């Protein structure tokens, strides 16, 4: 499966958040990390989108929607040439969203300071996916990245890599399957540590329902980065 990450940020080079994601994405060979810079070459952009099985828009939330550079890209690139005469040329692909917010995630709720959920605020992207017959993935939402501690960042790196590459990201069974696959791979690559990795595999498979608490597995996996 090929994943295209489309990054919309006015100053990616100086974004520690995007630097973190870029580093994590590098671990996944089937992922193309594509930073938007105007002017766009429609032919090249269309080719990237056609080749991807999963398209992920990644951006910081600016005034409750995508930054201008990403809206510019959407307005210019999502045309009849891209979608085909039938409008179905992207049909069947998966369409994901990785969004970071300066506010804490809990503020995005009725009765909280931001008043609306992120699911609601991202409706325009969901509607775009619907219109182009792509499957909308539950967005991966990250609040106040710079305040995350080391353990939280390692967990995020795993969640992010799963979001880009796992089947049905966000589902528990997906997380387990994805971790088991990666741990088995690590066991083969690092024979000296194989017993430890394979032990974790056994724990995972025995305790799928308690996965959320097994922060230690995520931490160990992250240390290989």
Summarize as ranges the residues that interact with a copy of itself (CB under 8 A).
10, 62-68, 71-72, 74-76, 78, 114-116, 120-121, 123-128, 130-131
Which of residues 28 and 72 has its CB atom nearest to a copy of itself in the complex?
Answer: 72
Q: How far is the CB of 160 from a copy of itself (least distance, A)?
A: 24
Q: How far is the CB of 184 from a copy of itself (least distance, A)?
A: 41
Which of residues 31 and 70 has its CB atom nearest to a copy of itself in the complex?
Answer: 70
Q: How far is the CB of 100 from a copy of itself (least distance, A)?
A: 15
Distance from C-alpha of 26 to C-alpha of 5, rounded to nearest angstrom: 11
Which of residues 33 and 59 has its CB atom nearest to a copy of itself in the complex?
Answer: 59
Q: How far is the CB of 60 from a copy of itself (least distance, A)?
A: 11
Which of residues 56 and 214 has its CB atom nearest to a copy of itself in the complex?
Answer: 56
């Amino acid at each position: 499966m090929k994943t295209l990450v489309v990054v919309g940020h006015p100053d990616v080079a100086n974004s520690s958040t995007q630097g973190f994601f870029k580093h994590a994405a590098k671990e996944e060979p089937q992922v193309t990390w594509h930073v938007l810079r105007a002017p766009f070459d429609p032919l090249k952009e269309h080719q990237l989108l056609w080749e991807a099985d999963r398209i992920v828009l990644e951006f910081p939330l600016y005034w409750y929607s995508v930054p201008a550079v990403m809206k510019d890209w959407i307005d210019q690139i999502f045309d009849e040439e891209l979608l085909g005469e039938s409008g179905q040329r992207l049909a069947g692909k998966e369409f994901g969203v990785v969004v970071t917010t300066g506010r804490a995630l809990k503020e995005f709720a009725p009765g909280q300071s931001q008043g609306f959920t992120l699911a609601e605020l991202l409706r325009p992207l969901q509607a775009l996916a619907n219109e182009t017959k792509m499957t909308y993935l539950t967005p991966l939402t990250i609040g106040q990245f710079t305040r995350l501690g080391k353990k939280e960042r390692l967990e995020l790196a795993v969640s992010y890599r799963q979001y880009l590459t796992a089947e049905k990201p966000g589902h528990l069974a997906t997380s387990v399957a994805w971790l088991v696959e990666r741990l088995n791979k690590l066991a083969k690559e690092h024979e000296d540590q194989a017993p430890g990795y394979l032990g974790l595999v056994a724990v995972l498979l025995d305790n799928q329902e308690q996965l959320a608490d097994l922060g230690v597995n995520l931490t160990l996996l992250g240390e290989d980065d």
